[in-house]
């Protein structure tokens, strides 16, 4: 049963419970509408169009119908789904042409994907935009506010939140970029994180075009890395790095000859006691 929106509340309020069971029957809406000068008509529809949803089992069945339609629409619109039954769309997902979507990808609300994008397996996207030619995943997460520009790359086990990744920039693996601006053709090494939260407030990180951030670096926001700068692997950066400079922010390596063998000998004597 369907009711016109303009009259629905009045019709429903007119339904009474003057019956043996003292229950309110939705079917009484027909008589109520007629009494108000309206009319009832029948419309033939497919079963899937008029599915009842009274519990979670029926809700899942209705969702399956919707997902089937969204997948078919995506493929007819020019996207390739390698394993369609494993891809889940939101009602407002926008896909360009020649998009390739690998298995087990989830699209939350507010996702826009441009032409020639590859979304690799087991990635999760929500309120994010991906520009032409970009690549996401596998096992990547784009959180709200993530924006990838043309030919940007976000690789495996990378999380992006409220950040723009510039054209041609690469965030290839094992990295968290949050509340940040990454310039075009910058390279973010494995294990890099933007330390954007102090427990009370969020701060931004700016990484200039062509900058290179070495592996396992921590960029403590607010901080700016200049264009073309290099941050040495393992650094904890707390101050601005000038353009084209090298920043090394880690403890100096100290070596004690034969210390390890003496330590093992001491531990073996201790074990024998």
Enzyme catalytic residues: 173
| Rounded Cα gap, residues 129 and 148, in angstroms | 6
Q: What tokens does 82 get?
A: 């390698």
| Rounded Cα gap, residues 29 and 187, in angstroms | 64
**Residue 75 — φ and ψ, nearest 5°?**
-70, -40
Question: Cβ(147)–Cβ(162) under 8 Å?
Answer: no
Number of H helices, E strands in the chain: 4, 22
Residue 11 is inside which H or E element, if any? helix 5-13
CA distances to 3, 12, 17, 40, 100 from 28, rounded to whole Å, are: 12, 9, 10, 12, 50
CA distances to 46, 153, 243, 253 from 135, rounded to whole Å, are: 39, 5, 28, 38
CB count within 10 Å of CB 35 equals 10
User: How many angstroms from the chain centroid is the CA of residue 216?
Assistant: 23
What's the angle, vertex CA 252, arms to CA 249 and CA 253, rounded to 5? 130
User: How many angstroms from the chain centroid is the CA of residue 24?
Assistant: 44
């Amino acid at each position: 049963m369907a009711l016109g929106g303009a009259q629905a509340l009045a019709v429903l309020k007119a339904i009474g419970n003057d019956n043996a069971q003292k229950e309110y029957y939705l079917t009484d809406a027909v008589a109520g509408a007629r009494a108000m000068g309206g009319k009832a008509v029948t419309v033939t529809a497919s079963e899937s169009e008029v599915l009842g949803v009274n519990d979670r089992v029926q809700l899942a069945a209705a969702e399956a119908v919707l997902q089937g339609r969204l997948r078919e629409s995506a493929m007819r619109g020019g996207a390739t789904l390698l394993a369609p039954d494993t891809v889940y769309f939101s009602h407002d997902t926008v896909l360009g042409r020649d998009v390739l979507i690998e298995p087990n990808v989830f699209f939350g609300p507010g996702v826009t994907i441009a032409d020639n994008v590859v979304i690799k397996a087991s990635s999760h996207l929500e309120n994010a935009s991906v520009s032409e030619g970009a690549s996401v995943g596998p096992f990547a997460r784009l959180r709200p506010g993530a924006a990838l520009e043309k030919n940007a790359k976000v690789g495996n086990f990378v999380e992006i939140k409220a950040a723009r990744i510039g054209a041609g920039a690469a965030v290839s693996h094992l990295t968290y970029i949050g509340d940040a601006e990454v310039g075009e053709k910058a390279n973010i090494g494995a294990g890099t994180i933007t330390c954007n939260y102090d427990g009370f407030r969020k701060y931004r990180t700016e990484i200039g075009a062509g900058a290179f951030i070495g592996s396992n670096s921590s960029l403590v926001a607010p901080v700016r890395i200049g264009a073309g700068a290099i941050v040495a692997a393992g650094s904890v950066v707390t101050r601005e790095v000038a353009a084209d400079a090298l920043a090394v922010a880690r403890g100096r390596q100290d070596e004690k000859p034969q210390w390890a063998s003496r330590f093992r000998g001491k531990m073996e004597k201790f074990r024998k006691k």
